[in-house]
Chains A and B, each alone.
Chain A
Amino acid sequence: MERCIGCHSCSLACARLVHRKLSWDTAGIRIASSGGLSTGFEAKNCLACNPAPCVLACPTGAYSQRKGGGVIVRKSLCILCGECAKACPVDAIYLDPSGEPFVCIHCGRCVNFCPHNCLEMKEIVASDNNENLTENQK
């Protein structure tokens, strides 16, 4: 992420393609300036924890453990309690004004929109040998 130029193309792509929104908030990756614009940018996105604290915190099963790390999301089960966002150690979950959580599902659609190749897809071999893709910061 040291290469990031702060264009927000990744967040806009995620909102547009995954969540059908025009937004830089309702996205699996969000860009903040680190210590003011003058020192660069940092991304807030999912580290693909395994076990995932957000999943453990979710009381309904709306978030469940994804093989290889991270979460599988079932929106219909969500009661907008916000526990997942509280549990995430890196602030990767955005709660919109209605309380709906947004998190990275590691689909990789944002990767091609980063002009500085800050983002990449990595293959992760999960313990049960299912192959999973995850999106990572370089």
Chain B
Amino acid sequence: MIRNYFKVLLYDLTLRKGTFIKVDGREEVAGGSGLAALLFNKYCNIKDNWDSPEQSIIFTIGPLTGYFPLMSKTVCAFKSPYHNQYAESHGGGRSALCMRFADIDGIVITGKANRPSCLFIGSRNLELREVHYLWGMDVQVTGKILRNMFRGSGHRSILRIGPAGENLSPMACINVDTYRHFGRLGSGAVMGSKNLKAIVIQGDGNFSLVENKDYPKLFHDVFKQLTTTEMMSKYHNLGTTENVAVLNEFKSLPCKNLQNTSDSEIKGITGETFANDALLRNAACAGCPVGCIHIGFVREKFMEENQYLYRQVSYDHEPVFASGSMLGVKNCFSVLSIIDAAEKMGLDIMSSGVALAWATEAFEKGIITVKETIIPLSFGNAQSYKEAMFYLATGANDFYKTLSQGTMNAALKYKGEDFACVLGQEMAGYATGEVFFTSQALGLRHSHLDSAGYSYDLKHNDKNIEKAIEFLLNDEKARVFLTSMVSCLFARNVYTNELLKDCLSVIGYKNIADNIEKISVEIQKLRWKTRISTGYDPENIKIPKRFFEIITSKGPIDAVFLNSLTQEYSRRIMSLVQE
């Protein structure tokens, strides 16, 4: 629906009531990331703890959601249990189109349900249903039961948490439609703190299009550009796991808790091996013809004598790095079985994999023993990692409870900060060098998606601080506009500002179309202001020693360069806010 305001559902779990309200600001913040920050400032409490019932969890879509291909993501914003500050996480599946067809630009959920509950939202429905019997159930079983409880197969989105979220772990994700996630910074725990096991969004409305030949024509053009052989081969063919071999080649793949940056036996977990041996099929987020989701399988013997069961598990570069190279596991089926274990528990695989990599090195160094880890941990031992995922999600003892609060948390307590692979949060799968480390450590989401620092590393060797920081800030600015539309970032090379301008004006958002640059700057500032108002100080971020010890294809990390980059980046972030 085209409108010059936002239609927002405010739902209070304590009162069991929701209202639809009009929120102004369409032409200032557009939607998605911009709208999320705007709503956070209105409906979250800057000072209170993340788990106070006063806090909200927010979901937003953007002006182009559903109108153009790959406009298929939803933004989730909340006060993070990881650092008690503003956080943003993005997820796909069918969530974005379901919100579009439920005719909602933003959902703000506040309060706390008195029993475990599921919120059901549609264009003509609003219901909070008690589901105490689902509490404690894993993500997959929960999904199965909910699919039978609510109608609308194919045109609904099911967001749910597992035991990790119920146990309030900052590593808990929200699972979306089985194969996608609001992965990082603990959105799952925020749902858990509200006794909210699941949200079902039914996309059951439809809208008339203005009589306008230009829109279908532009759609067709964009569709063609997004399904070129190049796009398809990059994201559809091998998918993001193509990076495993590439990064290994460039000595940029974090291996064994970043003790190494390449592994001569990587072949067992490359994109090619996954495709040849484990790939079952591709799937897509709703509204995306690219279909980057790769689904493999795990097979388990559950009785003697050839009795097997199998499950389908999605994989990508990040999960494969976190449960593969980082843990020294080099068999694609073992990797899938670890991902599967984390998925069931509702753990973010990147954070949990990196946490277990730290625990393994700490165990090998003798800093911790089986008294802490319950089972011995050693690089390459997939079975122990599967068990450890369970301990981590359920907080089986003091050690796992501490670790599930974040790797650095455990590292400080048990002494092992030097080799904790934490850049604001557990590292992403790129050991490309100084610029990426800076961008993840200081970036607003502490994500490899904040800006393309990793590709900058691979392309530049000049150590020009000014140029690198300028690149990070400009790239971030372009990305926040895209994530306000809300586009999948895989489409970032196609959706240039010129094309976005055409897309926005053809469906009727002329004023946004004419002010993309100005609005991008405003959104970038608003997000940083919001993060900083909740207590963030980039100068407090420390990069652990391990990151200074590695060697990439460019040679050893240059400590002076890295330190200058972080200083300059934090200075620029702070001056952005003061402007």
* Interface of A toward B, CB cutoff 8 Å: 5-9, 12, 15-17, 20-26, 30-33, 36-38, 40-41, 96-97, 113-116
| A94, chain B: closest CB distance, angstroms | 10
| A27, chain B: closest CB distance, angstroms | 9
18 A–B contacts from the bound complex (CB under 8 Å): A5-B282, A6-B154, A6-B286, A7-B286, A7-B287, A7-B291, A12-B66, A16-B219, A23-B101, A24-B286, A37-B177, A37-B178, A97-B124, A97-B205, A115-B227, A115-B289, A115-B291, A116-B291
Task: Tell me which residues across on chain B come within 8 A of A115, comparing CB atoms.
Answer: 227, 232, 236, 289-291
A36→B206 contact, CB < 8 A: no
A30→B154 contact, CB < 8 A: yes
* Contacts A6-B286, A36-B143 known; 18 new A-B pairs at CB < 8 A: A5-B281, A9-B223, A15-B206, A17-B216, A20-B208, A20-B211, A24-B97, A25-B204, A32-B153, A32-B155, A37-B283, A38-B178, A96-B206, A97-B205, A113-B223, A114-B289, A115-B232, A115-B291
Task: Tell me which residues across on chain B come within 8 A of A15, comparing CB atoms.
Answer: 206
Chain B residues 282 to 301 lying within 8 A of chain A, measured CB to CB, are 282-291, 293
Closest B residue, CB atoms, query A24 = B155
Q: How far is the CA of A30 from the CA of B203 in the complex (A)?
A: 13
* Interface of B toward A, CB cutoff 8 Å: 66-67, 69, 97, 100-101, 124, 143-144, 147, 153-155, 177-179, 203-209, 211, 215-216, 219, 223, 227, 232, 236, 281-291, 293, 311-312
Q: How far is the CA of A61 from the CA of B137 in the complex (A)?
A: 52
Residue among A24, A38, A40 making CB contact with B203, cutoff 8 Å: A24
Closest B residue, CB atoms, query A7 = B284
| A119, chain B: closest CB distance, angstroms | 13
Task: Tell me which residues across on chain A come within 8 A of B206, comparing CB atoms.
Answer: 15, 21-23, 25-26, 96
Residue in B67, B154, B179, B282 with the greatest tally of chain A CB atoms within 10 Å: B154
Task: Tell me which residues across on chain A come within 8 A of B232, comparing CB atoms.
Answer: 115
Q: How far is the CA of A41 from the CA of B124 in the complex (A)?
A: 26
Residue among A16, A33, A114 making CB contact with B154, cutoff 8 Å: A33
Q: How far is the CA of A88 from the CA of B185 in the complex (A)?
A: 48
Task: Tell me which residues across on chain A come within 8 A of B236, comparing CB atoms.
Answer: 115
Residue in A12, A16, A40 with the greatest tally of chain B CB atoms within 10 Å: A12
7 residue pairs, one from A and one from B, having the closest CB atoms = A23-B206, A32-B154, A7-B284, A115-B289, A5-B291, A5-B284, A32-B153
| A11, chain B: closest CB distance, angstroms | 9
| B182, chain A: closest CB distance, angstroms | 17
Q: How far is the CA of A62 from the CA of B153 in the complex (A)?
A: 29
Residue in A20, A36, A41, A97 with the greatest tally of chain B CB atoms within 10 Å: A36
Task: Tell me which residues across on chain B come within 8 A of A24, comparing CB atoms.
Answer: 97, 101, 155, 203, 286
Asked if A6 meets B283 with Cβ closer than 8 Å, knowing A24-B155, A30-B154, the reply is yes
Task: Tell me which residues across on chain A come within 8 A of B177, comparing CB atoms.
Answer: 37
A33→B209 contact, CB < 8 A: no
| B496, chain A: closest CB distance, angstroms | 22
Q: How far is the CA of A116 from the CA of B289 in the complex (A)?
A: 8
Residue among A8, A9, A20 making CB contact with B209, cutoff 8 Å: A20
| A14, chain B: closest CB distance, angstroms | 12
B144→A8 contact, CB < 8 A: no
Q: How far is the CA of A36 from the CA of B94 in the complex (A)?
A: 13
Closest B residue, CB atoms, query A115 = B289
Q: How far is the CA of A135 from the CA of B215 in the complex (A)?
A: 24
A12→B211 contact, CB < 8 A: no
Task: Tell me which residues across on chain B come within 8 A of A36, comparing CB atoms.
Answer: 143-144, 147, 178
| B560, chain A: closest CB distance, angstroms | 48
A37→B211 contact, CB < 8 A: no
| B281, chain A: closest CB distance, angstroms | 7
Q: How far is the CA of A119 from the CA of B285 in the complex (A)?
A: 19
B67→A22 contact, CB < 8 A: yes
Task: Tell me which residues across on chain B come within 8 A of A30, comparing CB atoms.
Answer: 154-155
B291→A8 contact, CB < 8 A: no
Residue among B144, B154, B287 making CB contact with A12, cutoff 8 Å: B287
A23→B207 contact, CB < 8 A: yes
A21→B291 contact, CB < 8 A: no
Task: Tell me which residues across on chain B come within 8 A of A31, comparing CB atoms.
Answer: 154
| A3, chain B: closest CB distance, angstroms | 8
Closest B residue, CB atoms, query A116 = B291
Task: Tell me which residues across on chain A come within 8 A of B124, comparing CB atoms.
Answer: 97
| A135, chain B: closest CB distance, angstroms | 18
